Chains A and B, each alone.
Chain A
Amino acid sequence: MSFNSFDFILLFWPIVCILYYFPTKHRRPIWNVWILILTSLAFYWISDGILVAFLIGTTLVNYAIYHCIQKYRRKALLIGGIIFNVLLLVASKYVNFGIDLSNRFLGTSFHIVELIVPLGISFITFQNIAFLVDSYKNPDMNVKIAEFGLFSSFFPHVTSGPILSSDFIRQIKNLKVEINWENIAQGIFLFVLGLSKKTLLGDALGKAVDMGYSLEGPMNTATSVFVIVAYTLQIYFDFSGYCDMAMGIAKTFNFELPLNFDSPYRAIGIGDFWNRWHITLTKFFTRYVYIPLGGNRKGKLRTCINTMIVFLISGLWHGASILFAGWGLLHGLFMVFEKMNSTWINRIPKAVRWLLTFVFVNLTWVLFRSGSFGTAVRVFEGLLNPGRLSENVLGCFNDSFIPESYTAWGYLIIGFIISVLPKNGFRLSESNRYGILRGCYTLILLLMCVFSFSDVTTYIYAMF
């Protein structure tokens, strides 16, 4: 079940709200914690069936490890816990990648196996690793099973993040049973904003991207430029939209999810980009990979190596293929270059730095999307082959009375403006101008989104 579906908006979410809030009188916070745990498990079960057993199992095992760490304070337990979670991730996602590499470079002939990949495994395992490390560093951390259960399974974040830190557990401990209209209003607004980005912009661009990438034969400049920028915007609206929805939903239950996305296409350097894109993943890698490796405390060479390691892991985390690894390594190289030359780079006008960063990000997204090296090459080669936008791609924008080419390029321009200029969804929701006018356009956007559900698409990041 995804947030952009009838089932979620018309049934699941309202039912959970009713169970959570009514009646409020004489209700103890722990009951609400359990309501959210049970409904979150139901959400996971609806989305991924029997694999809810994975979520329950990994939660119980990690809680048991936490308990042992608190009791015995042994580093071996922490290492064991980390290995356990990493092995889960590797076994689910990377076995076939390893087999493919072995067959290609070592001449073996292992067979590809059919993998069962539980929903959100990449996020769940990283979150559990972070939790175990925090619990080892903090002997006073006292977490009850229900609190950890909700931390692990809370449905707004369980499938596609953000990766929660143990700070979230403090919110669970301090949970009050009350209807907070400010939170509900902000939550609804954020949710609708996110839904609009996903369904009205992301999905429309996504159809054109899919069409563009599936074209056979050489591409031309207009088509290549279009699909490159369209994918840049699609992945932005998809992820940004999802994050806004997750934050909005959590807010309606009086929870604050961490900001995961802060207008990344306004970044003026790759370091800035990664401080704005998938912020919780960046924080995870910084705290639990980069710093333990030595960070920038062991000289320039080691700093470069540590940075490359982090980005290689990040690339592979996003996808088990050489293309994703390549994408990560390119970002790592750019990051290293930026760090080592920051003095003169900072003297470059911001507008130029912004443009270079934006172009770099656009071009590297091609590796992310292509699926094969040949497709990536075809897209890049198309940039040097003058020509008009493919009719097939234009055909994805023939739903209105406006000529297709105006609609297509219009989506790109409007999408670009939205992604770069205004305040992001979270900052807009923090304003206190919640009147009937805002209510009207929230309602209009919501209705437009709901009536576009005839073709429902899944999130790009849901495959992780």
Chain B
Amino acid sequence: MKKYALFVIISFVCIMGLIGGTVYIVDPYFHYHAPFKGINYKLGNYVYQNDGISKNFDYDAIITGTSMTKDFSTKDIDEMWGVNSVRLTFLGEGYRRINDNLVTAFNHNKDIKLVIRGVDPIWFVSDENFLEYGSYEEYPTYLYDDNILNDTKYLFNFGIIKNDVIPRIKDSIKHLPYGESKPKDLNYRGGKDLVLEAYERPEKSNKAVTEEETKQLFDTLDKNLEMNVLKVIRDHPDTKFILFFPPYEIPIWDSINQEGKDVLQRRIDMERYAIEKCLELDNVEFYSFNDCFDITSDMNYYVDDLHYVPYVSHYMLECMSSGDEHRLTKDNYLEYIDRIREYYTTYDYDSFFEE
């Protein structure tokens, strides 16, 4: 009986120690450390890796945002700005998660010189505390908190061991390349078929825009911007923040227009409000690509009802690094607003669907 009990206890402790130790060393989500030399790692499992990257990687620049930033190349950013950057993309998230992660990054890294952040206008009026768990069965909060007791969910997680730890060990033995998956194909084009497959056109309605509702939406936007975009910028005046609105394709504008012309006008007013708030800060450069009408009206640049091809990401980086095109300043942002108002309020959306 004693032999049995000791055998089970000691074997169990040894095996768990070995497995936990292996996960600690390989650490596919960088929860404990940056990748060790000789240990293969892959980037791209955003939700699981972003916190670890923020805390443990060596970098002085960040590209962050929603899925609209997933094709931004850190290699391009490094070359264009002369920095050492990491990408922290959050799929399907509002501003709060992105902001919290930036705060984590700043708390662990005092050398951040540059933050490039996509600000998606579709999240303007989400609650300032909104956290989207997307399609995850269980959001890995154990990777985001400081509670070491729940790290057991990481160290002894069969799914992580099978899908990440074992493959990384195999890749390390084979000396396969590390890091980012293969570079994006800048020649890849999407198409209208792909866009229309994903986009469900809402029924036309002529929604009345009331003063009360407008005030409520602007209050929400204001709170959201203050808490989740501007505060971290104010807290780090020595860091340059490049904020941008990504180019929203015609279907997105159509979906707003279908609610009514007044709704569309209000949406553009909200964009103006957001730009004004951001331009108040000296360490912000603001860009918007919604006046890239050649792109936003050409579905070859889009792969679904929201996302664009890698070329568009590359183009935006080029513009932002040169600082010449699509930059909004206090002097020119009102002209930008007029341009997009003129274009998107008079666009013939019906003809888009008739072709």
- Contact partner of A181 among B1, B150, B153, B156, CB < 8 A? B1
The answer to whether A6 touches B3, judged by C-beta atoms less than 8 angstroms apart, is no
Number of A-B contacts (CB under 8 A): 70
Q: Which of B127-168 contact A (CB under 8 A)?
A: 137-138, 149-150, 152-153, 156-159, 161
The answer to whether B149 touches A188, judged by C-beta atoms less than 8 angstroms apart, is no
Which of B4-12, B90-98, B187-195, B346-354 participates in binding chain A? Answer: B4-12
> Using a Cβ–Cβ cut-off of 8 Å, how many residues does chain B contribute to the interface with A?
23
The answer to whether A439 touches B2, judged by C-beta atoms less than 8 angstroms apart, is no
- CB closest chain-A residue, reference B155: A6
The answer to whether A434 touches B4, judged by C-beta atoms less than 8 angstroms apart, is yes
- Contact partner of B8 among A439, A450, A454, CB < 8 A? A439
A438 to B11, CA, bound (A): 13
Q: Check B198 for interface membership: any CB of A closer than 8 A.
A: no
Q: Check B16 for interface membership: any CB of A closer than 8 A.
A: yes
Q: Which of A187-202 contact B (CB under 8 A)?
A: 188-189, 192
Q: Which of B1-55 contact A (CB under 8 A)?
A: 1-5, 7-9, 11-12, 15-16
- CB closest chain-B residue, reference A437: B4
A329 to B344, CA, bound (A): 67
Q: Check A185 for interface membership: any CB of B closer than 8 A.
A: yes
Q: Check A405 for interface membership: any CB of B closer than 8 A.
A: no
User: Could you tell me the distance in whole angstroms from the C-beta of A131 to the nearest C-beta in chain B?
Assistant: 33
A189 to B11, CA, bound (A): 14
Q: Check A447 for interface membership: any CB of B closer than 8 A.
A: yes
User: Could you tell me the distance in whole angstroms from the C-beta of B51 to the nearest C-beta in chain A?
Assistant: 18
What are the interface flags for A397-435 relative to B under an 8 Å C-beta threshold, 1 for contact and 0 otherwise? 000000000000000000000000000000000001011
- CB closest chain-A residue, reference B151: A6
The answer to whether A434 touches B12, judged by C-beta atoms less than 8 angstroms apart, is no
User: Could you tell me the distance in whole angstroms from the C-beta of A73 to the nearest C-beta in chain B?
Assistant: 46
The answer to whether B156 touches A451, judged by C-beta atoms less than 8 angstroms apart, is yes
> Using a Cβ–Cβ cut-off of 8 Å, how many residues does chain A contribute to the interface with B?
28
**Beyond A7-B149, A443-B8, A450-B16, is A185–B2 a contact (Cβ under 8 Å)?**
yes
Chain B CB within 10 Å, residue with most, of A7, A436, A447: A447
A7 to B155, CA, bound (A): 13
- Contact partner of A455 among B12, B15, B138, CB < 8 A? B138
The answer to whether A188 touches B15, judged by C-beta atoms less than 8 angstroms apart, is no
A55 to B161, CA, bound (A): 40
**Beyond A181-B2, A454-B157, is A447–B12 a contact (Cβ under 8 Å)?**
yes
Q: Check A452 for interface membership: any CB of B closer than 8 A.
A: yes
Q: Which residues of B contact A453 (CB under 8 A)?
A: 152-153, 156
Q: Which residues of A contact B152 (CB under 8 A)?
A: 6-7, 10, 453
User: Could you tell me the distance in whole angstroms from the C-beta of A237 to the nearest C-beta in chain B?
Assistant: 20
A192 to B15, CA, bound (A): 16
Q: Which residues of A contact B158 (CB under 8 A)?
A: 451-452, 454
The answer to whether A185 touches B159, judged by C-beta atoms less than 8 angstroms apart, is no
A181 to B4, CA, bound (A): 9
A435 to B1, CA, bound (A): 7
Q: Which of A1-53 contact B (CB under 8 A)?
A: 6-7, 10-11
User: Could you tell me the distance in whole angstroms from the C-beta of A214 to the nearest C-beta in chain B?
Assistant: 15
What are the interface flags for A158-197 relative to B under an 8 Å C-beta threshold, 1 for contact and 0 otherwise? 0000000000000000000000011011101100100000
What are the interface flags for B290-304 relative to A under an 8 Å C-beta threshold, 1 for contact and 0 otherwise? 000000000000000
Q: Which residues of B contact A185 (CB under 8 A)?
A: 1-2, 4-5
Q: Which residues of B contact A434 (CB under 8 A)?
A: 1, 3-5
Q: Check A462 for interface membership: any CB of B closer than 8 A.
A: no
Q: Which residues of A contact B3 (CB under 8 A)?
A: 434-436, 439
Q: Check A221 for interface membership: any CB of B closer than 8 A.
A: no
Q: Check A370 for interface membership: any CB of B closer than 8 A.
A: no
- Contact partner of B5 among A10, A11, A184, A447, CB < 8 A? A184
- Further contacts, 12 of them, CB under 8 A, given A439-B8, A450-B16, A451-B161: A6-B156, A10-B16, A182-B1, A434-B3, A436-B7, A439-B7, A443-B8, A447-B12, A447-B15, A453-B152, A453-B153, A455-B137
Residues of B within 8 A of A (CB): 1-5, 7-9, 11-12, 15-16, 137-138, 149-150, 152-153, 156-159, 161
Residues of A within 8 A of B (CB): 6-7, 10-11, 181-182, 184-186, 188-189, 192, 432, 434-436, 438-439, 442-443, 446-447, 450-455
A-B contact pairs, 8 of them (CB 8 A): A7-B150, A181-B1, A188-B9, A443-B8, A446-B8, A450-B156, A451-B161, A455-B137
